[in-house]
Chain A
């Protein structure tokens, strides 16, 4: 029988999350000489990052030497509809190449160009081929490489100290349920080990959140059970802010058939490599959905689009490569107009576009996945795809340079999908993997520096630990509802009312229902014991999912415009005044508070990287006047 004994550990830096961001942060903290712990809900090496397919964006210029950080920066801002934290976008564009090259020194094997450099591929929203990749299993390569780098650091420690775990240790299948504070400083993290249900307390002055996203609150999602918004909720409860929570990315091309694999993604590179979207009438419909802001960059005829694949310098891009929110919306419109496939999606076809061998060579795991899961041979027939909840742009508000969270708490850092700001209202494909590396490294570095700067370690109070223990045990002794039912109800609310297309009435309705669910979740019960009991685990995750869903619904109701990953049917246009505002959510007691905060203004040398014509689609007249003044100054 399990006990209430608590296993205590002391570290300098605790990293919650073993995806790309968490592992990179941990490596950096360890390299800075800090004793570092990595905590992960699943086994080491299984984090969500393994699922990323397409690649990692970095302006190395290996395939097209015109590429550089400025072009990448521009693409990122454009993709995020200028709502991005410009400083994050700048750091990301500048540092991504170094981070990718570094992976090679850890043993990564990317696909190569003819002259032996890292090959780069096209992806929606990126002007040049920019994504470093390994077939279509780039995320696996990334995580395995970081995992193996950690092993190599452990081997070093073993040689030096006689113990693999001397300076960096992985706690797999361990879930953190609460952060413990000492005043306004982080003092530790409390959680349970899945295997035996025993509790653990990690005392540490600095904590890095790298827990990924929130997609599990949606019915059709590409995300795994881990994505219950734990990091978002932990940050909120510790006093940090979330921003941009209304922006969720719905991937345009998730599998919609067969039913059991609904939500699994078909990588965007299928389109980058020549795949086209067709409706039930066999028409390539994307040409009808090129928004004005993109008109100049995209082909108008099928002939021009097709020439682009072989001669990208003299032709415009095919509209299939529009940013993914445009593609998602187009598919949604086609389905609503009755031109969808039987399963409610559209067709993505590569089979008529290139020979079977080329498809298998370029998209090996896609081919494999469709064959094994759906018994569909993508070299012979089209795939059935539709929008799927995929990524949350919003997240913990952080200082761009250090990853330190903004709000009422010190010593808390965040990186990766759990953090917000970098991607603005919409993330470009491939920008996440590079984001993980760039900001994971920074968070690890600054968390280590912060730990060093403290004169004394914050103290963990027993009372707070006892509260955390009680909260964790509560569902096991209560007599209430089954957590699975509650999760399904939550998914229905979010999927139906706070989904890809939103309306005021529905959002209000959603908030009412979320309030009801909150009461039911407070009484959730789990049968069975503490050993590896998924029902209990879900019961504990539910309260995180709920508070994060509430932030999303509140922010979605507040933002009366459509931009990137937030589409309001009642406010279909982008509004330059809204571009200047971030929506910030925080927690007071268990009340979600919402406030508005200005988006930081780009520095002159960055804003002048853009064309005035382009800016005029996003900026207010007042801002444009400021831009004109800058331009004039520059020409004098």
Chain B
């Protein structure tokens, strides 16, 4: 019952290659990976292609099908017109090894640079208690099958080899977000880290990553945007600067007030407003310079930023005057006595 279909598959290696034409049998219910396998078994035994599970679970069979990044095993032949030519090419963002196989080392390097889960010091194995609602946010990101399609499609690295050093990519933004939202993770600066070391600032929320994710992880809405928002909040908060001009650490301690938020190396997430009505729990970070690239320049350009011109040094989401509720300024009576 099979029909002959026209396939064009990129064959070659790092020295170059081209699209080769194949006429190949296709049966009802088959996916693109089946057809690649048939090519291997009949016409091109050395056609290189990765796969493992053939069930969309391992993320090995990433390729570009008619220009769209897809999993070969999850792309049904019935989605193409009967006489449509199917063109299969390797992922474009990564160096070619051979045929449909690319060198995805970049992703493993970035994985290795992302700080691991920090277990809480005071809990023994078996003592972890978490509520389902609290783990669900992180679980969404742990669905990731590491197909690297999002990494492949992200224009920050797709068209700019030079950004690869400074940019971890959406897969590792969700890893950072996952740990940031992990109820028991003991490391408090995931967001700052994402901004300073992973190049979160390069992302201008084009959402291409979300669009291609075969696990339908809402990479931008649920991970990148929340990470960015609060990072902006912590990194550029003008109040931090204001506060620092007025207090010195010893002066604060003198007042018996915990200066934590001002020295936000270890931001306090859960503190209640103090007795004096001051919102010391407001998450503010130490003022940091914006992340710069290897040449010491701000990486943000009109292309990679979501608005024209430079970002506000106070943080983009800050408008003046500030609502008084958000102020954690506290006037000292003991000033200089």
Contact = CB atoms under 8 A, between A and B. Distances in A.
17 contacts: A44-B108, A50-B145, A104-B125, A105-B125, A109-B130, A109-B135, A109-B139, A112-B132, A134-B142, A140-B142, A151-B111, A195-B101, A258-B30, A259-B30, A260-B29, A365-B57, A372-B76
B238 to A, nearest CB: 35
Interface in B143-157: 143-146
A111 B143 CA distance: 13
B242 interface: no
- The 5 A-B residue pairs whose C-beta atoms are closest, nearest first, are A258-B29, A528-B46, A107-B117, A152-B116, A535-B45
B161 interface: no
A51 B116 contact: no
A372 B101 CA distance: 24
Given A101-B125, A140-B57, A259-B29, A484 B50 contact: no
A121 to B, nearest CB: 14
Nearest to B216: A368
Contact of A112 (B55, B78, B130): B130
B333 interface: no
A112 B74 CA distance: 30
Given A105-B123, A151-B116, A260-B30, 11 more contacts: A51-B58, A107-B116, A109-B142, A112-B130, A137-B143, A148-B116, A151-B111, A259-B30, A261-B29, A373-B31, A484-B40
Interface in A148-192: 148-149, 151-152, 154-155, 164, 172
A434 to B, nearest CB: 15
Contact of B40 (A45, A258, A534): A534
Contact of A375 (B34, B76, B143): B76
Q: Which of B29, B114, B119, B185 has the most CB of A within 10 A?
A: B29
Interface of A: 42-48, 50-51, 97-98, 101-102, 104-107, 109-112, 115-117, 119, 134-135, 137, 140-141, 144, 148-149, 151-152, 154-155, 164, 172, 195, 224-226, 257-261, 264, 365, 368-369, 372-375, 482-485, 488, 526-529, 531-536
Given A137-B143, A195-B103, A117 B56 contact: no
B37 to A, nearest CB: 9
A179 to B, nearest CB: 24
A367 to B, nearest CB: 12
A373 B45 contact: no
Q: Which of A107, A172, A485, A535 has the most CB of B within 10 A?
A: A107
Contacts of B101: 195, 532
B301 to A, nearest CB: 32
- Chain B interface size, as a band, is 35 or more
A22 to B, nearest CB: 15
Given A107-B116, A109-B138, A42 B41 contact: no
Given A42-B52, A154-B112, A261-B55, A97 B126 contact: yes
Contacts of A148: 116-117
B106 interface: no
Nearest to B127: A101
A117 B57 CA distance: 27
Contacts of B235: none
A46 B60 contact: yes
A98 B125 contact: yes
A151 B58 contact: no
Contacts of A43: 50, 60, 104
Contacts, number: 178
Contacts of B182: 107, 109
Contacts of A51: 53, 55, 57-58
Contact of B48 (A42, A105, A259, A534): A534
B142 A46 contact: no
B95 to A, nearest CB: 11
Contacts of B98: 531-532
A283 B145 CA distance: 38
A392 B103 CA distance: 33
B201 interface: no
A335 to B, nearest CB: 20
Contacts of A104: 125, 128
Contacts of B132: 111-112, 119
Given A102-B125, A533-B48, A484 B139 contact: no
B211 interface: no
Contacts of B74: 372-373
Nearest to B13: A531
Contacts of A137: 57, 143
A257 B138 CA distance: 34
Nearest to B75: A372
A531 B135 contact: no
Contacts of A115: 129
Contact of A369 (B56, B59, B115): B56
Nearest to A102: B125
Contacts of A46: 52, 58-60, 146
Contacts of B42: 484
A482 B45 CA distance: 8
B65 interface: no
B264 interface: no
Contact of A151 (B56, B112, B135, B146): B112
Contact of B53 (A224, A374, A482, A484): A224
Contact of A260 (B34, B97, B99): B34
Nearest to B138: A109
Interface in B44-103: 45-60, 74, 76, 78, 97-99, 101, 103
Nearest to B34: A260
B3 to A, nearest CB: 14
A532 B60 contact: no
Interface in B212-250: 214, 216
B130 A50 contact: no
B28 interface: yes
B126 A101 contact: yes
Nearest to B175: A148
A112 B131 contact: yes
B99 to A, nearest CB: 7
Contacts of A116: 129-131
A46 B53 CA distance: 9
B45 A526 contact: yes
B27 interface: yes
A92 B147 CA distance: 33
A71 to B, nearest CB: 19
A109 B98 CA distance: 37
A43 B128 CA distance: 31
Contacts of A135: 139
Given A257-B29, A372-B74, A50 B116 contact: no
A226 B40 CA distance: 16
B204 to A, nearest CB: 28
A534 B111 CA distance: 27
Contacts of A488: 41
A105 B185 CA distance: 10
Contacts of B131: 112, 116
A290 to B, nearest CB: 31
A605 to B, nearest CB: 25
Contacts of A224: 51-54, 58
Q: Which of B30, B53, B130, B179 has the most CB of A within 10 A?
A: B53
Contacts of A535: 40, 45-46
Contact of A50 (B13, B34, B58, B115): B58
Contact of A483 (B29, B45, B116): B45
B115 to A, nearest CB: 7
Contact of A117 (B54, B117, B129, B144): B129
A97 B128 CA distance: 13
A480 to B, nearest CB: 13
A172 B138 CA distance: 27
Given A258-B28, A373-B56, A531-B97, A106 B117 contact: yes
A268 B142 CA distance: 22
